[in-house]
Amino acid sequence: MIIPALGELFEPTQILDGLDGILFTGSPSNVEPRHYAGSASVPGTPHDPDRDATTLPLIRAAVAAGVPVLGICRGFQELNVALGGTLHQHVHETGTFMDHREPKDQPVEVQYGLRHALAVQPGGVLQAIGLPAQLQVNSVHGQGIDRVAPGLRVEALAPDGLVEAVSVEGGKGFALGVQWHPEWQVRDNPHYLAIFQAFGRACRQRASQRGAAPRTA
């Protein structure tokens, strides 16, 4: 099922009992900086306040209830903000990190092509599901994690040290966020596929515990 961005009209607890997993997707919009005490956005920055008002409390409720969570790109950043972390609003302007944005003047195949290496940290979820210590990923984002939220484990780092994946430490269920887009050509990339397979297993396990057919949002 698709969860609409109803904002403050949405009550997470009304649907969590009927879900076996939640995928928080990417988006052209960014999390409003007021949610992490950041400075005001540059005029023209795309935001989606109704999505923020829907996803941030939903993430907190899902993690607390042990509902499997997978966050991609904006969803990865939402996971961090929802649990108390902060973001760099313009990664390329920090003076510390490389430009992680896609070349917008290129075909989509180039924009989502492999851009940089990723160092998978030992002992985490990504290693446990079979990802190697080093792999190549795409890079299609202008914002990124600044301060990692309490309770999140760093799962992977870009060559410049930017956090590219996190998981919830000691959580009741599967809760993983990745900055890149593993859904892009997922059938041709076993490392990307492994992420969705792990999420699927977690969803099926929750479904079996509920005695229901798997259902994700």
Residues with a catalytic annotation lie at 73, 181, 183
> What is the four-CA torsion angle of 91, 183, 65, 171, rounded to 10 degrees?
-60
Judged by DSSP in three states, 85 sits in coil
| Separation of alpha carbons 184 and 82, rounded Å | 25
User: Which H or E run includes 88?
Assistant: strand 87-88
Q: Which amino acid is at 180?
A: W
- Closest to 12 (Cα-Cα) out of 69, 74, 72, 56: 56
Element (H, E) at 108: helix 108-111
